[in-house]
Amino acid sequence: MAKNFSTREENYSQWYNELVVKADLAENSAVRGCMVIKPYGYAIWEKMQAALDKMFKDTGHENAYFPLFIPKSFFNKEASHVEGFAKECAVVTHYRLKISENGKDIVVDEDAKLEEELIIRPTSETIIWDTYRKWIQSYRDLPILINQWANVVRWEMRTRLFLRTAEFLWQEGHTAHETSQEAKEETLKILDIYANFAENWMAVPVLKGMKSQTEKFAGAIDTYCIEALMQDGKALQAGTSHFLGQNFAKAFDVKFLSKENKLEYVWATSWGVSTRLIGALIMSHSDDKGLVLPPKLAPIQVVIIPIYKTDEQLEQLNEKVRSIKQLLESRGISVKYDNRDTYKPGWKFSEYEFKGVPVRLAIGPRDLENNSIEIARRDTLHKEIVPIEGIDNVILKLLDDIQGNLYHRALNLRENNTFSVDTWDEFKEQIEKGGFVMAHWDGTPETELKIKEETKATIRTILMNNPQEEGKCIFSGNPSKERVVFAKAY
Amino acid sequence: MAKNFSTREENYSQWYNELVVKADLAENSAVRGCMVIKPYGYAIWEKMQAALDKMFKDTGHENAYFPLFIPKSFFNKEASHVEGFAKECAVVTHYRLKISENGKDIVVDEDAKLEEELIIRPTSETIIWDTYRKWIQSYRDLPILINQWANVVRWEMRTRLFLRTAEFLWQEGHTAHETSQEAKEETLKILDIYANFAENWMAVPVLKGMKSQTEKFAGAIDTYCIEALMQDGKALQAGTSHFLGQNFAKAFDVKFLSKENKLEYVWATSWGVSTRLIGALIMSHSDDKGLVLPPKLAPIQVVIIPIYKTDEQLEQLNEKVRSIKQLLESRGISVKYDNRDTYKPGWKFSEYEFKGVPVRLAIGPRDLENNSIEIARRDTLHKEIVPIEGIDNVILKLLDDIQGNLYHRALNLRENNTFSVDTWDEFKEQIEKGGFVMAHWDGTPETELKIKEETKATIRTILMNNPQEEGKCIFSGNPSKERVVFAKAY
C-alpha cells in the first residue's frame, strides 16, 4: 500500500485527502458532502468519545438525547442564530413517498406535505431550550448540566473528509444556570477540558482564548475556543465553548424563581467538539510515510508480526507471541497479532506504518533462540532489539515517550511558526507564508473584515490573560491595547 | 412524587405512559412523534449499549458510521424494501432557508431545491450495500462484520414513548459473507446474542424463532426474532436478525471473486435492536409503585439515605457513609448517596422506589451505635436490618438475587400465559384475554391475514426447533405440521 502517495511538500491538501482514504479512515459517500467513517477511523472516534465522556461525567454532566428535527419556527426566535444557520440547513418538507403513475419510479407524495417544515439540527440550542422551559421552574431545578452525542447537518458547499462535511458527529453540551457568573465558570471549565483533551490525549498543543465578536457563535455573548496549528501553517479551530448569556432563555421564555423569590431568565452555555478533531489529529502528526497516531488514541497500540519460513516456525512463534500478547494486554495495552499467511512481513510492515500504529514488534526464529524481539517506534522510525523479559515495562514507557514526543514535536512546530509583526507589509508577507501571526488590531469589525478580504486571514483568538501592550493597529494605524492571533484557517 | 399514578389494572396503557414521564425517562418533544430521552432514561440506554457493544466486538464486529441521508433512487433498487419503507419516511427536498419578503418570517428557499430528494434513513441496507460494492472485490475482503449505532426515522402515525417513535436510536449490524451457510450462521449467532442480552441483562425471557413470510423484514429471505410477553398479555418484538440472501448484493451489484475464481454475489445479514428495548424493560418488571430495574441495567444500583435530626448527626452519618460508598464502589457497585437537606427521608424513599433503584440503604444515629444499616430491595419491597460489617458481600449477593428473581418472575408470567388451543372459538377467546397462543396454522399468508383481520392477532414467531406435530389449522381446518405462536402485539 501507500504507493503513489503524495508528500506534504508536493501537495499538502492532496497528501491529507489520500491519507484519509488510503489509511481506511473515511471516504466520500454517494451523498454529496457526507462521509462514511470506516471502522479504523471510527475506532479513533470511539477512543475520543470515551475520554471526553469520562471528563464530562467526572465534572457532573449527564448525557441525554433530543430530536433530530427542529420546527422551522424555532429558528426564528433567536435573531442572530437564524442568521448564522438558515443558509446551510437540510429541510424536511414531506413524510411519504409513493410509486409514480407509470408504476416504475418512486416519487414524493404531495399529499404528505408537512404543515411546518422541519430542519435537520445544525446544532440543538433551540429544541433544547424549548424543552428546558418545561424542566425549569425554580432555582432548585438548576443547574442543568447535559451533554448529547449526536449527528448534525450543515449544508456546506465545499466539503473535506472530517474537516468540513455536510453531516458530522459531535457532542454538544447545553447547560442552564442561576447566575451569569456560574455560566461563565462553566464555559471556562469546559474550555479547560477541551484543552486538556487536545494536549494530553491528542498530543496537539492549543491556544486558549476568545473569539472576536465577528467570529463568535451565532447566538452567543462570547465564544471561547481552542486553536491548533497544522503542519502547513494553517490554523484549525478544534473546539468551542459559548457563554450564551440569557439569549436563548429570552427567546424561549425560560424563567426561574430565584432564591430571592424573583422571576429571572436562566443563564446558559453550550459547547462542542466534533469528528473534525480526527482531521486535526491526522494533520498534526502524520508524515510522508502515512498516519502517526498518539498512543492514547490509537485503536491498535502495538502490532506484532511474525517472521518465518516454515509452518513449524510459525507455530513456535504463535505460542511465544500468545504469552507476550497476554502480558501486554494485562497491562492495558491494545495489541494486534497479525499472523495472516496471505501477506509477507514486508507488506505488513508498510501497512501498519501507514496506519500509524505507534509500536511494531517483529519476532523470528533467531529471536526465539535469543529470547529477544525487534521493537520499532512509528514516530521516529527508530528500531532496536530488546530482551523479551520485561517487554511490558519497556513498551509502557515507550508509549509514554511517543505520546510526549508527538506533543513536543507539535509544540516546537507551533513555536517556530508563531510570529509577532508590527507593520502591514510584514503582516501580509507572514500570513502568506503561514503560521500564527500576533499583531495589533484596533478592535473594530470593519478592520477585521478588511484584513480578511485582503489576506484571507481571520482573528483566530484573543488569548486568555492576553498581555496588555500599547501599540498601533497594523491595518488602520489606530491605537490598540493588545495583540491578537491571526492566521489563515481550515 | 407518584401521586395520581395509575395502576396497571385500572389502565395499563396509561400506567405505562405516566411511568415513563414521571420516572424521568423520556417525554414527548415539540416535534410530532419524536421523544426527548432524559438523562435517567439515557443512562439505561448507555448501559444497554455498553453490554451489547462488548458482545458484538467479542464476536469480531467493528463499528462504523454511514450517512443519515439516502438518495431516493437507492430505495427503488430492492423492490420489497421500497414497498416496506416508502410510506413512512421523512424526505429532505431543500438545503436552505431564507428570510421572507416581508422580512419577518423564515421560509424555504425555492432556489435551493435538491436535484434528487434525500430520505432520512429508516434503516441503512441501501446506503451500506452501495458502499460495500467499493469495498468488496475478492473473497479476501470477506467477511465484513460491521455494526452502526445511529438514529433512524420512520414516520409512524401513532407513536408511544420508546415503543414506537418517529425517530429512535438503535444499532444496525450489516455483514457480508462468501457463502449462504456463513451468512445463516451469522444471523443465528446474533439471534443468540440478542436472546442472551434480553434474558441475562434485561431479565426478560424471550422466545427465539422465525417470522412468517408476511411478517419478515422488507428485503429479507428470512427474519429471526426474539419475542417477549408483557404483563398485559401483549407480545413485544425485542430484536430481529435477518438473513438477506443475495437480495441487496443483486440490487447494488456487489460481486466477489471466489476462491474458485468465479464472480459471485455476496451473501448478507442485517440485525438490530433499538430504544424500544427500554419499553420492554419497563413493561416487563415495573409495578404500581413505579419502575423496577434489573441491577445489571440500573443506572444507580444502590441508593443510601441518611436519617437525621441535627447537623451533627448528619456529619457523623456522612463520614460513615463515605466509607461504605467507597467499599461498595470498589466492588463495582454504582452507588448514590442522597444527603440533600431540601427533601425529607420519606420523600426520598418514594422517589427512589418510583425510579426503580434495586437496593436502598437507610442509616440513622441508632444504626451508627449498633454498626447496622437498613437494607430494602425494590423487587419484593422486603426490608431488614443487617450489620455494616460485610455489607459489600451482602449487597453483591442481593443484586444477583434481584436479577434472578426478576427473570423468574417474568418467566412465570410467560409460562402462565402461554396456551395451546385447537379450535377457532378457543383461539378467539384466548387471544382476547391475552398471552402467547400456540395453534396450528395452514402456512398460507391468506389465512394469516384473515386471522389478523378477525382477531388483531399476528404470528409472532415460529419457534426454533419447533416440534413437528400433525394437526389442523384453527382457521381453515387444512392440515398443519406444527403450531406457531400467535399474540396481539405492541
SS3 B2: coil
Distances (CA, A) of B293 to A387, A395, B20, B55, B297: 52, 43, 13, 21, 7
Chain B: closest CA distance from residue A279 (Å): 16
Sheet holding B302-306, edge to edge: B335-337, B302-306, B359-363, B372-377, B383-387
Concatenated DSSP letters of B330-378: HTT--EEE---SSS-HHHHHHHHHHTT-SEEEEE-HHHHHHTEEEEEET
Interface test with B, best of A36, A125, A130, A275 (most B CBs within 10 A): A36
Q: Which chain B positions have a beta carbon within 8 Å of A157's beta carbon? A: none
Q: Which chain B positions have a beta carbon within 8 Å of A134's beta carbon? A: 27
Flag if B93 and A91 touch (Cβ within 8 Å): yes
Residue A445: pLDDT above 80?
Answer: yes
Q: What is the pLDDT of residue A48?
A: 98
Residue A309: pLDDT above 80?
Answer: yes
Q: Tell me the one-letter amino acid at A310.
A: T
Q: How many other CB atoms are found less than 10 A from the CB of residue B24?
A: 16
Three state DSSP letters for B415-458: HHCEEECCCHHHHHHHHHHCCEEEEECCCCHHHHHHHHHHHCCE
Considering only the beta carbons, identify the residue of B71, B89, B134 that sits closest to A31. Answer: B71
Nearest to B50 by CA among B226, B296, B311: B296
C-alpha cell at B226: 426474539
User: How do residues A333-374 score in pLDDT, each as one tens digit?
Assistant: 999 999 999 899 999 999 999 999 999 999 999 999 999 999
Pair A269, A324: CB distance under 8 Å: no
Q: What is the pLDDT of residue B2?
A: 52
Q: Which domains does chain A have, with CATH numbers?
A: 12-285 (3.30.930.10), 300-404 (3.40.50.800), 418-487 (3.30.110.30)
Q: What is the pLDDT of residue B3?
A: 59
Q: What is the pLDDT of residue A2?
A: 52
Interface test with A, best of B21, B91, B162, B175 (most A CBs within 10 A): B91
Share the mean pLDDT of chain A.
96
Q: What is the pLDDT of residue A411?
A: 98
Considering only the beta carbons, identify the residue of B82, B86, B127 that sits closest to A29. Answer: B127
d(CA A178, CA A175): 11
Pair B402, B377: CB distance under 8 Å: yes
DSSP state of B78: S
d(CA A334, CA A311): 26
Nearest to A397 by CA among A333, A321, A325: A333
Residue A205: pLDDT above 60?
Answer: yes
Regions of chain B short of the pLDDT cut 50: 1
Q: Terminus-to-terminus CA distance in chain B, angstroms?
A: 28
Interface test with B, best of A65, A116, A148, A157 (most B CBs within 10 A): A65
Q: Which chain A positions have a beta carbon within 8 Å of B64's beta carbon? A: 36-39, 42
pLDDT (average), residues A88-111: 92
Q: What is the pLDDT of residue A100?
A: 86
Q: What is the pLDDT of residue A105?
A: 86
* Contacts of B65 by beta carbon, 8 Å cutoff, 6+ apart: A36, A37, A42, A45, A169, B148, B150
Considering only the beta carbons, identify the residue of A86, A150, A342 that sits closest to B140. Answer: A342
Please compute Rg for chain A using Cα positions: 26
SS3 A187: helix
Flag if A31 and B118 touch (Cβ within 8 Å): yes
The ipTM, to two decimals, is 0.96
Nearest to B299 by CA among B326, B274, B281, B324: B281
Residue A103 confidence class, pLDDT cut points 50, 70, 90? confident
User: How do residues A15-25 score in pLDDT, each as one tens digit?
Assistant: 999 999 999 99
Nearest CA in chain A to B156: A95
pLDDT (average), residues A229-243: 98
DSSP state of B322: H
Concatenated DSSP letters of A330-395: HTT--EEE---SSS-HHHHHHHHHHTT-SEEEEE-HHHHHHTEEEEEETTT--EEEEESTTHHHHH
Pair A291, A355: CB distance under 8 Å: yes
Considering only the beta carbons, identify the residue of B63, B87, B93 that sits closest to A93. Answer: B93
Flag if B67 and A34 touch (Cβ within 8 Å): yes
Flag if A95 and B98 touch (Cβ within 8 Å): no
Chain A: closest CA distance from residue B478 (Å): 37
Flag if B151 and A155 touch (Cβ within 8 Å): no
Nearest to B189 by CA among B59, B63, B64: B59
Chain A: closest CA distance from residue B26 (Å): 9
* Contacts of A408 by beta carbon, 8 Å cutoff, 6+ apart: none
Lowest mean pLDDT of A99-108, A462-471, B235-244, name the range.
A99-108
Nearest CA in chain A to B130: A30
Residue A74 confidence class, pLDDT cut points 50, 70, 90? very high
Flag if A42 and B65 touch (Cβ within 8 Å): yes
Considering only the beta carbons, identify the residue of A39, A82, A131 that sits closest to B106. Answer: A82
Considering only the beta carbons, identify the residue of B38, B90, B146 that sits closest to A39. Answer: B146
**Inter-chain CB pairs, A–B, below 8 Å:** 190
Flag if A93 and B98 touch (Cβ within 8 Å): no
C-alpha cell at B360: 436502598
Flag if A131 and B88 touch (Cβ within 8 Å): no
Considering only the beta carbons, identify the residue of A67, A75, A140 that sits closest to B106. Answer: A75
Flag if A64 and B42 touch (Cβ within 8 Å): yes
Flag if B74 and A30 touch (Cβ within 8 Å): yes
d(CA A362, CA B414): 56
pLDDT (average), residues A67-84: 89
How do beta strands B359-363 and B302-306 pair?
parallel
The number of angstroms, rounded, from the C-alpha of A220 to the middle of its chain's C-alpha atoms is: 21
Residue A3: pLDDT above 70?
Answer: no
Chain A: closest CA distance from residue B112 (Å): 10
Looking at chain A, the whole-number percentage of residues with pLDDT higher than 70 is 99
Pair A439, A420: CB distance under 8 Å: yes
Pair A302, A333: CB distance under 8 Å: yes
Q: What is the pLDDT of residue B100?
A: 86
Chain A: closest CA distance from residue B205 (Å): 28
Q: Could you give phi then psi for residue A102, rounded to 5 degrees?
A: -75, -5
Nearest CA in chain B to A63: B39
